[in-house]
Structure formats: structure tokens, C-alpha cells
Structure 1
Amino acid sequence: MATSLLDPRIKLRHISCFLEVNRQRGVVPASQALGLSQPAVSKSIAELEDLLQTALFDRSGRKLVLTRQGEIFARHAMAAAAAIREGIESMDLNRSSHTVVRLGALPTVEVEVVPRAVERFMHTPFACRVHVESGPSGHMLAMLRDGNLDFIVGRLASPEVMNGLIFEHLYSEQLTFAVRPSHPLASKPTLSYRELEPYPMLLPPANAIIRPIVDSLFIAGGAGRFRYEIETVSNGFARAYALENDAIWTISRSVVAHDLEIGQLVALALDTSASHGPVGITMRSNEQLSVVTSALLDAVREAAAEVAARG
């Protein structure tokens, strides 16, 4: 008798509930996201743990976290969910026109690397529809874990949120403090961080990858309170605001590289050498990538090499 490839007692609802509880770190928010009752989600998790004969979640804290066995199962469950989604898409008779690669672009790369990569990809035999998602790191990491993104390009996230994910380093870059040419500090040959205090600061939000690096620079430089702070992930808004006001825009250098090159913005003479950080590709671990996703990844690698070579 042929052996079943999958225990018939394990249903898709078990996998869906497990992945959502892991993402939400709790049964209640997971039930709301799935549109199910809390008892139904709890029952599915209990059934799955019984079938696997192991505890998948550590319930000792306020939020549910994966056990070691849960981490192992999560990697395979996420890969399986992504494979099912791709399989459903591939059933479309007009597959070539409906295939889509979904990538997340953090602010670090959405101005130079990703546009170059997409343009390069569109001239390959694997060209298809590309969906580019932008936003805070936490939002896109959640989408990646859920299978709603194929990969993310940008700065390396903190180690505690990289469980089940892998990172491919492409290059490193540092932060810059950009202002309009007429800014009172623009022409000063050297600056201390305390001299920034009288001016408005355009900052990444608290949950952004580069925010701890920015805060560390301020602490090390002895900077105290600023005139006022504006938090944003919108490069368009920040650029417009910096050009119209004496605000100081704190951002990864590649984001404003073109502005600096043409003289639209000026980099303040601050020591930002301590802000160097890795930029690369974040993916789900142990996942078999489709041919088109691999082709776009290659285009990202080539575009990143061009940007890094330019300095």
C-alpha cells in the first residue's frame, strides 16, 4: 500500500492557524485576523500539537513564542504555505501574464537599487508583473513570513526578529544628515551633534531599522533635545520638507545620493562612520524559490553591485 505524503489528519486550517498565531504572538489577535472564533483557533493549535506530539508554543509569558520544535516546524510550514500559493497561481491558463514577484523595498534601496533591478529584470526572458511593497520594516517582515512577499531588500533587521529568515549581504553604507544648500549649517567645515539641536529633525520612526543607529549617534555626540522631531518613512515628504525648511533629514546616504550629486541637498560635515550597516536581501530560510523570483534576485544583486561600486 502506498504511503501518504502527508498525515491526512493535518488540515490546512491547522497550518493557517499555527502561522497566524506565530505572527501575531497570541490566539486572540490571530483569531481576529483569520475571522475565526478564539476557541476555534485554540482547538486547531491543540489538535496540531497533539498530532505532532510536541508543544509548538511556550505559553509561560504574556505572548506566545515558539519552542525549539515550533521553530523547526514553522520554517517548513511557511515554505509549504508559500508553495501552495505559488501552485494555485500556476494553475491559471494565462500563467505568464498573471505571474507576479512580490518584493519589499526598505527606504535604503527604494530610490536606486530596486528601480535599477526592476528595469534590468524587465529585459530578461523571465519578465513578469512585479509588485513592490514599501513601508516600515516590521510590516514587511510580517508580510514576508506570511508568504505575501517573496523577499525584502534593505538594511539587516535586528537579530531578535530574524527567526526563520536568512540574510544575504550585498554591501554596507552609512547614514547622512542632509539639508538644503541655504541651511545655516550647510557651509560649516566641521560640526558637532549638539549644534543640530536648534533645528527640526526629520527622523525614521521608532520601529525603523536605522532608528537605533541614529539614536546611538546622538547619544555618542552629546545631542540633547531638538527643536522638534518629525518621524516619517516617506522619502518624498522628507525631501520636500527639507527643501522648504531648515530641517535636517537623517537618512541612508544612497537615498539622497542623487540629490547630493546635483547640489539639491548638502550633507552636513558630521562624523557618521559609526553608522555603517549591512544592506542586503532577507528571505525565508529553506524555501525553494521560483525561476522568476530567482531572476529578480539576480537583478537585485547586479544593481546593488553597481550602486556599491559607485560609492
Structure 2
Amino acid sequence: MKLSSGSLPQRIKFRHLICFLEIARLKSVVKAADVLSLSQPAVSKTLHELEEILGVGLFDRSHRNVSLTRFGEVFLQYAGTSVTALRQGVDSIGQARASGQVIVKVGALPTASARVLPRAVKLFAEESLGSKTRIVTGPNAYLMGALRLGDVDFVIGRMAEPETMAGFSFEHLYSERVVFVARRDHPLLSIRPFDFAAISQYPVLTPPPGSVIRPLVERFLVTYGIGALRDEVETVSESFGRSYTRSSDAVWIISEGVVAEDVADGALTHLPLDTAQMLGPVGLTKRANIPLSLPAELLIQAIRDGARNL
């Protein structure tokens, strides 16, 4: 089916774009239907309508998880940009009508929210622009999905996998290690010489599958001959990890910045391991073709200043 470009705006609806973006993010029609609170047939029908309008297939459904075709990869960049631009327009009108305030929405990994954001937000607040800051935290994949949909203006976190970076730009801010920490009187620390393999005897808090640092952790454990952990707790919750590790024999595998203050005040301590090989970039991810508001740019500059001081 071939249509003139002038006929597309009248036929492609907002619901088409949202369904497409959620299926692309979750790689599943079933999961997208659940997130959108729609039935699976309704989502499938909406996708079919969009593919008929465009005249091409957007997804390869031959595998268990659907994947984008090369047409879908191209369309993903423009669909995300369109939805983001529309939401920014709606937000700006709503904010202007309400109070004239601009809300800067930041997606941040726990490590960034603990390490660079507090000082940056403090500096930003001192500018007295009357703007508000909204901090959204979560795993990297969730934050990247929120960025593509326009739910956040930019993301501070690890660099995403190359195949998910279409339409985004990444600016390196600093590099950070993944570390193993425990309470300072943990039984592991009394073993001489230190026996890392004994970690399997204790609860271990790990980043969940799909998180950017998970592959780094898995490779590190394999290097030391450690396979499946007997008592593994997958979490991205900073508050849970801190409380559980302080009050139990758990070992927490986490980005160094999240626990920097806990280590400094002696509540937690590093296990004596060389984790230099688990060093990874932390940076700023933005949509490549969407300009940011002046308050958002000012907050980004404060973040850059804070990163230089690490």
C-alpha cells in the first residue's frame, strides 16, 4: 500500500505511536498491552493499522521476542521524537497556565542520584529561576524508555547498548567502578587469606538482568570460578540494599558512588578485591534532535561541574 506523505498525518494517530514505542521498548506485544492497560488483540490491531498505513512491516515476529525490522529501527527514531515533542508542547502550555514554572525532569541511576545530582540540584536551585526539578530513578532500560517517550528530559546513567541508542546522544561525564561491600564486621573479612569464593555462603545483592552493569558482574564472578549464587537478591533499590547490607551478612554488588558515604562513615566497607575491570562510563544521554529548555540546560551544566570535581 503506497500513500502520499500528505495523507499520513490524517491517518496516523497518537495511539499508533504509543503502541509502537511500547512494543519496541518491551520487545513484546503482551507486555506492551499490560503496560498500556489494553487487551493483546487491541494492541495487535493498532500495530497492524500502523503497518498498513506505512506499507511496511515494523517488527519481526518470527522469534519469541519481537524485534524491529530495519524499517522499524528508522521509524523508531521519528516516532520517539514526535511523541516527545508533542508531550513537551502539552507540558509547556500546562505549566505556563498553572504557574509559569518549568519542570526539569531528570532520569537518574541510583549511583548518579547519590553522587552528582545533590550538589547539581543545589546549585540549580540557587539560580532562582522559579523552575522545579523532578528526579526519576530506576534501571537504565526503564530510564531510556522514559527518555524516548518524553517522560524525562535527559538521563544520567550508564551508556546503553548500541542497538538502543538510535536517536540519542551520549556525553561521558566520569567513570565509576562496581564494588563489593559488606558491613565492616562481616565474617568474610575475618578470613586470612581472604577467600572470595566464600561469598557464595552468604546472601548477595546483585543488579537484575537487563541492567547495564549486570554483564560486568557476571563476567567478574565467572573469572573467579563462581557460578550461580545460592542466595541471590536482585535489586536496584538503594534504600533496601543499604538497610539489608547493614543489618545482615549480605554482600552488596553496587556502583561505587551509591555507597561512597556509607564507606566513608564506616558503616560499610569494600571487600579486598581488585574490581578495576568493572570500570564503566557514566554520562548524560539526551535525545539527539529535541532542544532542551533553558532551565534543563542550566541543570546539565551544574551536573557537568559536579562531575569534574569527582
TM-score between the two structures when normalised by the length of structure 1: 0.84
1:151-190 CA-partner distances (Å, limit 9, x unpaired): 2212223334434433221111112222222223446786
Which residue in 1 is equivalent to 2:88?
A: 86
Q: Read off the aligned partner of 1:89 and give its amino acid letter.
A: D
Does the CA contact (< 8 Å) of 1:186 and 1:266 recur in 2? no
Counting aligned pairs with the same residue, the percent is: 43
Which residue in 2 is equivalent to 1:289?
A: 292
Moved more, 79-88 or 18-27: 18-27
Q: Displacement of 1:6 after TM fit?
A: 6.9
Does the CA contact (< 8 Å) of 1:71 and 1:164 recur in 2? no
Change (3 A) 1:18 1:177: closer
Output the CA distance in 1 between the equivalents of 2:27 and 2:81: 19
Q: Displacement of 1:227 after TM fit?
A: 5.9
Q: Displacement of 1:277 after TM fit?
A: 0.7
2:137 corresponds to 1:137: no
Which residue in 1 is equivalent to 2:20?
A: 18
Output the CA distance in 1 between the equivalents of 2:32 and 2:240: 34
Which residue in 2 is equivalent to 1:71?
A: 73
Does the CA contact (< 8 Å) of 1:193 and 1:218 recur in 2? no
Does the CA contact (< 8 Å) of 2:101 and 2:130 recur in 1? no
1:190-233 CA-partner distances (Å, limit 9, x unpaired): 63422433333222223322222122111112235656333322
Which residue in 2 is equivalent to 1:122?
A: 125
Change (3 A) 1:288 1:54: farther
Q: Displacement of 1:87 after TM fit?
A: 0.9
Aligned residues: 305
Structure with a larger share of its residues in helix = 2
Q: Read off the aligned partner of 1:67 and give its amino acid letter.
A: T
2:264 corresponds to 1:261: yes
Which residue in 1 is equivalent to 2:156?
A: 153
Q: Displacement of 1:40 after TM fit?
A: 5.0
Moved more, 50-59 or 276-285: 50-59
Q: Displacement of 1:24 after TM fit?
A: 3.7
Change (3 A) 1:157 1:19: closer
Change (3 A) 1:166 1:241: same
Change (3 A) 1:60 1:202: closer
Change (3 A) 1:195 1:127: farther
Output the CA distance in 1 between the equivalents of 2:199 and 2:40: 50
SS at match of 1:111: helix
Change (3 A) 1:203 1:63: closer
Which residue in 2 is equivalent to 1:182?
A: 185
SS at match of 2:252: strand
Output the CA distance in 2 between the equivalents of 1:28 and 1:224: 32
2:32 corresponds to 1:59: no
1:95-151 CA-partner distances (Å, limit 9, x unpaired): 655421221221221212121221122122545221111222332232222221222
Q: 2:201 aligns with which of 198, 201, 207?
A: 198
Does the CA contact (< 8 Å) of 1:26 and 1:64 recur in 2? yes
Does the CA contact (< 8 Å) of 1:180 and 1:265 recur in 2? yes
Q: Displacement of 1:71 after TM fit?
A: 1.7
Q: Read off the aligned partner of 1:61 and give its amino acid letter.
A: H
Structure 1 segments unaligned to the other structure (5+ residues): none
Which residue in 1 is equivalent to 2:10?
A: 8
TM-score between the two structures when normalised by the length of structure 2: 0.84
Output the CA distance in 1 between the equivalents of 2:45 and 2:241: 47
Moved more, 298-307 or 74-83: 298-307
Does the CA contact (< 8 Å) of 1:186 and 1:267 recur in 2? no
Output the CA distance in 2 between the equivalents of 1:11 and 1:32: 20
Which residue in 1 is equivalent to 2:110?
A: 107
Does the CA contact (< 8 Å) of 2:104 and 2:295 recur in 1? yes
Moved more, 157-166 or 212-221: 157-166
